[in-house]
Structure 1
């Protein structure tokens, strides 16, 4: 996809960061105000005050039902705001190559979804409501589908307009389905887990694209699933639950062209992946049935997961900024 600055770039260059900052602070002020007057979280549906949440922290009667887990989401907001700051100050000499330099539709979308990761997760941990959980899941999907759609868009020679259209359609379908049918969307589809696989598959294909490897690339998804504890034996023994593995071949289907750009994977891509895998291990221990769970501690493992994954989003932002034309050297 050819990099393209947003319309009216000169006008927006000095305004994007202040606008993002105002929106972020405005959300926090609005949340605190509504919660202080008891106007948010009235339909608390998950756990009673004083009980232990499914993410280990004890439920509070205050404005944040899970105080530590809620406030740790500031990490995402800070990460996203730093991205807006860097994008606003970029020089023009790389704008025509990299979609993560300057104020492009893709760079703004990425930074915005990172900020919303913090907002969505705070709504879930702060209110302990079903609608808060919906906002949290939506924020996760809005972020995790971006990398693999970017990769497929590059290898499919999509226009920016087509990329945005596909992204919006997927988000809207997920948002409605998640609200009506719940986390599996009524069809046993784990879109978040699938998207992690699609990212690694499409990233590997982006790096090693050949016409033959294109169709082999789907098998990489089984390796990714195994890393997260889902073995091929389990998949095929419960295919009604894991039928979505057939979608591992989506990148092969749409990635018809060899990329004309390349990325530098060390250190940022590997650092981001290592941080995410380590944070996933910590996330798995941050539950009530874990011996590491201390519901009254100021150190909550789920909060650490938030901070580590927030740093991962920063690493991947830096990674995408390494992209340049293959013949540029």
Structure 2
């Protein structure tokens, strides 16, 4: 177990070396799409380069996720085992979280660096591997799942998503935005984790509508276009599986709120930093040839969010 941190560090370095080799030789670009030719402005503001990264700053900024994940492993590596908290010391769950954080880096780097369909697939997969972790872990705690059941459930969802995304595209062939849904499931399950009762359990799904509203989807829009938003029914997944009050408690200040607020800030930047969605922010900050790229800050800030949520989970204590 103590070799996890140096192994993770070695794998990160190895990935960067192999990326550079395959990019320098052109192998990695053989399936490059022609939608954004070299010299054009990408959908994320940066000018498309002929170098080893098609979007240099947007790609390179993903190292922030690797740094965050490596710091997580470094701390876990130096921890003493704590049977009351799975985010102290190295165990299956803490290793899985750290790995999911690190993989956000290579996943997104492959998308911004290569402009290939498979790079986009890797990017989406990396985001899913992170975002399903917290709500599934909450269900584990409230459903009294074993560690193995949690791990098996996690990889079942990841593999199913990977295959569906590869063969059927971003909406998985059924009109489902699993990433967006997972944000809602996380907040719903966190609400249940904090306020569980029999009554709260079954009304918790309505919290998802509040989350959707924050992200710009109103209840009127949902019910006016229910064919497109049928997945709101899945807001009750936490209620179905959270059959018991959690045996642990967490401290939400400051790390949960810092993680949430930093993610919302990053999301606002993500929405605005696109040249084909004109706004004051885009007009002011979308400079294709600048070293300062708005989308790169989405990466930096969300990397901080992953670190904040790790520290938040470390506050968990037995009741």
TM-score for both structures, normalised by structure 2: 0.97
- Partner residue in 2 for 1:131: 118
Counterpart pick for 2:66 among 47, 55, 77: 77
Secondary structure at the aligned position of 2:300 is classed as: helix
For residues 8-59 of structure 1, the C-alpha deviation after alignment (integer angstroms, 9 at most, x for no partner) is xxxx22x111100000000000000111111111211141101111111110
Counterpart pick for 1:52 among 15, 23, 41: 41
CA distance in 2, matches of 1:34, 1:165: 33
8 A contact 1:285–1:293 mirrored in 2: no
The structural deviation recorded for 1:315 is 0.1
8 A contact 1:148–1:195 mirrored in 2: yes
1:230 aligned onto 2:217 = yes
The structural deviation recorded for 1:238 is 1.1
CA distance in 2, matches of 1:281, 1:311: 15
Counterpart pick for 1:246 among 224, 229, 233: 233
- Partner residue in 1 for 2:309: 316
1:27 aligned onto 2:21 = no
1:294 aligned onto 2:287 = yes
- Partner residue in 1 for 2:53: 64
152-161 or 39-48, which deviates more: 39-48
The structural deviation recorded for 1:162 is 0.4
8 A contact 1:151–1:206 mirrored in 2: yes
Matches within 5 A, 1:113-152: 113-152=100-139
Number of matched residues? 312
TM-score for both structures, normalised by structure 1: 0.94
1:284 aligned onto 2:284 = no
Secondary structure at the aligned position of 2:28 is classed as: coil
Counterpart pick for 1:105 among 80, 92, 101: 92
CA distance in 2, matches of 1:42, 1:307: 29
- Partner residue in 1 for 2:83: 96
CA distance in 2, matches of 1:17, 1:142: 20
RMSD: 0.7
For residues 176-234 of structure 1, the C-alpha deviation after alignment (integer angstroms, 9 at most, x for no partner) is 00000000000000000000000000001000000100000000000001101111111
Instruction: Tell me which stretches of 4 or more aligned residues in structure 1 moved more than 4 Å.
Output: none
Secondary structure at the aligned position of 1:40 is classed as: helix
CA distance in 1, matches of 2:94, 2:43: 34
Counterpart pick for 1:171 among 158, 180, 183: 158
* Structure 1 unaligned blocks of 5 or more: 1-11
CA distance in 1, matches of 2:264, 2:213: 12
1:303 aligned onto 2:292 = no
1:199 aligned onto 2:202 = no
For residues 260-296 of structure 1, the C-alpha deviation after alignment (integer angstroms, 9 at most, x for no partner) is 1000000000000000001111111110133232211
* Structure 2 unaligned blocks of 5 or more: none
Secondary structure at the aligned position of 1:75 is classed as: helix
- Partner residue in 2 for 1:36: 24
For residues 143-181 of structure 1, the C-alpha deviation after alignment (integer angstroms, 9 at most, x for no partner) is 000000000010000000100111011001000000000
